[in-house]
């Protein structure tokens, strides 16, 4: 009967410890056992059952979060699943990767993804229907010059 309460206490203690750790004056960087790969990071965009989008690099999966909701919707676009992408972003303290920008990769070249309505000649931010004519937009990949 006391289990939920006890669990709650441990969760609270856990968050306090986590906060204390974050406020601690710079521990040795080597203390982190899971070294995160440098950014930008190339990998395969996957949508695993029950989770959000992940970036698979070799045999490791890094959960992705996005800077904006429209970016998240783009990462969840089924047409982009299994594509090689390059993620520019920031590692979060919990090991998730916050995506600021991403590109698709074809033959080592970078492309940006856009949603376009040919009828209205306008670009949409995320998958879905055109805000103007309400017809489905087309997903396009536009080559970008490497940085």
Least Cβ distance, residue 77 to Zn ion (angstroms): 18
What is the rounded CA–CA span in Å between residue 38 and residue 129?
Answer: 36
Residue 85: partners with Cβ closer than 8 Å, 6 or more residues away? 42, 43, 44, 45, 55, 102, 103, 104, 105
Tell me the window of 47-55, 65-73, 77-85, 115-123 that interacts with Zn ion (CB under 5 A): 115-123
Nearer to Zn ion, 95 or 136 (CB): 136
What is the rounded CA–CA span in Å between residue 147 and residue 122?
Answer: 26
Nearer to Zn ion, 13 or 132 (CB): 132
When binding is defined by CB under 5 A, the residue of 45, 66, 75, 117 that contacts Zn ion is: 117
**SS3 sequence, 24-81?**
CCCCCHHHCCCCCCCCCEEEEEEECCCCCEEEEECCEEEEEEECCHHHHHHHCCHHHC
SS3 24: coil
* String marking each residue 71-110 x if it binds Zn ion according to CB under 5 A: ----------------------------------------
Nearer to Zn ion, 46 or 120 (CB): 120
Least Cβ distance, residue 71 to Zn ion (angstroms): 21
Total residues contacting Zn ion by CB under 5 A comes to 6
Residue 121: partners with Cβ closer than 8 Å, 6 or more residues away? none
* String marking each residue 118-147 x if it binds Zn ion according to CB under 5 A: -xx---------x-xx--------------
**Interface ranges with Zn ion (CB under 5 A):** 117, 119-120, 130, 132-133
């Amino acid at each position: 009967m006391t289990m939920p309460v006890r669990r709650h206490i441990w969760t609270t203690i856990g968050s306090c410890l986590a906060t204390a750790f974050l406020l601690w004056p710079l521990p040795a960087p080597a203390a982190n056992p899971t070294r995160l790969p440098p950014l930008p990071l190339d990998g395969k965009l996957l949508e695993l059952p029950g989770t959000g989008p992940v970036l698979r690099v070799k045999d490791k999966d890094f959960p992705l979060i996005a800077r904006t909701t429209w970016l998240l919707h783009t990462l969840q676009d089924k047409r982009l699943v299994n594509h090689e992408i390059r993620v520019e972003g920031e590692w979060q303290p919990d090991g998730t990767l916050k995506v600021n920008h991403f590109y698709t990769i074809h033959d080592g070249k970078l492309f940006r993804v856009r949603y376009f309505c040919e009828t209205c000649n306008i670009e949409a931010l995320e998958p879905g229907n055109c805000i103007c004519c309400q017809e489905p937009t087309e997903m396009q990949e536009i080559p970008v010059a490497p940085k």
